Amino acid sequence: MRSRFPLAFATLVALILGFAAPAAAQSPAAAAAAAGDPPSEEPEEEGDEDAAPVDTSGLKKVVKPTTNVKPKSEQKKDAKKQQKAVSQKIKGDKRCEFRMPLYEHEVVDGDMLSSIAARYGVRVKDVLKLNPGVKANALKIGKKIKVCPEIAPRLREEFTYTVKKGDSLSEIGEKYGMTRREVIKQQKWSLREKLEKDPGSLREGQELTLIVDRGVLPEFAPRNEDKGTLKIGVQLEPGKGYFIKRPHLAYGTAVCVRAIKSAISGYRQKAKGGPQVHVGDISARGGGPLKGHKSHQKGIDVDIGLVLRGDDADETRFRTGNEGNLDVPRTWALIKAFVDSPDVRAVFLDYRLQKLLYEHARKQKVSEAKLDELFQYPRGKGRAFGIIRHWKGHKDHFHVRFRK
Ligand SMILES: [Zn+2]
């Protein structure tokens, strides 16, 4: 009897604490994990999710959703519409090649065309095609921008963050999937001006307004796209400048195989020398489950080795890349050749390696907008964003997913 009480009490305390934790005290990463990121973004060999840890510190309370995000009445209507949409079979929109419904993004303060595109994992080019007349440098708040989201749309919510000792704007941004610049742009006038002039003027106890992502809209809920077969497969033949690790597992769709060849030949022209490109698995003949992979079933995925220097360069096994052995300029050129292909949907690469490439690309004068469009880095690895995205297990190769 005596020993039971403290236990019950502890349970009660835990329950209270659990319930008292505000919904807002969830990082976007945790929210993403809870909602489950699209299976299409989860190549199997990479294992389970590797989202950033939940950060519950510094949060004050949930503030009502900003009016320019979604008025309440509209949210209710949306919720009804969503329920209806879920109960019916979800149809893809014609403008999205029937792959997903069309989504209308409402422009909020601080949005840029590049960050809007990247938020949905598409290119600026795709956005412009769907929205003729939209000007990249003249986005109006409240304007609706059409997108075919590769990354599921999320509700956005405004809340107040109280600055802790030692916080920097970049760190706060990374916690919530934003860049430092975006955090600054979301502040009210005087504070915004002050931070623009001197980001170091941030002080403990100061209150920041942040617009963060919440749950995925149900009508865009992730579908499992990994499983399937390959009805009409084409085998990637050996060719100049690349090495196929397992030719019997190098069957892909015609689009995929053609895109691989063209990306490699484009890269070879730029790379001027360097080791052969290492092509890993695509799919088995006929597709279907492939040992060691969750995806690679439909002939639309390929693993490509990083370009390495020194002893690791010609090693035929994939080798983990790091600052010491990674040929950053060549790896960047190779990934860029894939990213530039209109048939590529996403490239999965370890977040730390993204940093090396990102910094290199910035030194090469790749514009801020382009970096934002392509890289998830520096928004934190828990945030699905851009074309090049983190997935656990991609330290020794990158994984390219094609449209079809
Ligand atoms: Zn893979």
Please write the tens of the pLDDT for every residue from 54-91: 333 333 333 333 434 555 555 556 555 555 544 455 67
Q: How many A from CA of 281 to the centre of ligand 1? A: 7
Rounded distance between C-alpha atoms, residue 92 and residue 90, angstroms: 7
Tokens of 113: 């065309």
Do you find a cis peptide bond into 65, omega within 30 degrees of 0? no
Nearest to 43 by CA among 353, 377, 359, 345: 345
pTM value is 0.77
Rounded distance between C-alpha atoms, residue 336 and residue 322, angstroms: 19
- Angle at which helices 328-339 and 351-363 pack, to 10 degrees? 90
Rounded to 10 degrees, what is the CA torsion of 223, 228, 234, 240? 60
Mark the ranges of the chain whose per-residue pLDDT is less than 70: 1-90
Q: How many A from CA of 399 to the centre of ligand 1? A: 5
Q: How many A from CA of 223 to the centre of ligand 1? A: 18
Rounded distance between C-alpha atoms, residue 303 and residue 315, angstroms: 16
pLDDT at 131: 96
Q: How many A from CA of 62 to the centre of ligand 1? A: 39
pLDDT at 77: 61
Is the separation of the CB atoms in 260 and 78 below 8 Å?
no
> Could you tell me the domains of the chain?
28-220 (no CATH), 234-402 (3.30.1380.10)
Nearest to 46 by CA among 324, 398, 345: 398
Q: How many A from CA of 68 to the centre of ligand 1? A: 40
Q: How many A from CA of 98 to the centre of ligand 1? A: 25
Q: How many A from CA of 184 to the centre of ligand 1? A: 37
Q: How many A from CA of 94 to the centre of ligand 1? A: 29
pLDDT at 315: 83
Please name the helix (run of DSSP H) or strand (run of DSSP E) that holds residue 4, with its range, or none: helix 4-20
Q: How many A from CA of 303 to the centre of ligand 1? A: 5
Give the phi and the psi of residue 20 in degrees, each rounded to 5.
-75, -20
Nearest to 58 by CA among 128, 143, 159, 133: 159
Q: How many A from CA of 294 to the centre of ligand 1? A: 8
Q: How many A from CA of 66 to the centre of ligand 1? A: 40
Rounded distance between C-alpha atoms, residue 354 and residue 376, angstroms: 8
3-state secondary structure 105-173: EECCCCCCHHHHHHHCCCCHHHHHHHCCCCCCCCCCCCCEEEECCCCCCEEEEEEEEECCCCCCHHHHH
CB-based neighbours (< 5 A) of ligand 1, an ion = 43, 303, 399
- Angle at which helices 328-339 and 254-271 pack, to 10 degrees? 140
Adjacency order of strands within the sheet including 207-216: 59-62, 154-162, 207-216
Give the phi and the psi of residue 115 in degrees, each rounded to 5.
-75, -30
Is the separation of the CB atoms in 48 and 392 below 8 Å?
yes
pLDDT at 122: 96
Rounded distance between C-alpha atoms, residue 330 and residue 334, angstroms: 6
Q: How many A from CA of 177 to the centre of ligand 1? A: 25
Could you tell me which residues come within 8 angstroms of residue 73 by beta carbon, excluding any fewer than 6 positions away?
Answer: none
Beta strands 234-235 and 251-252, pairing class: antiparallel
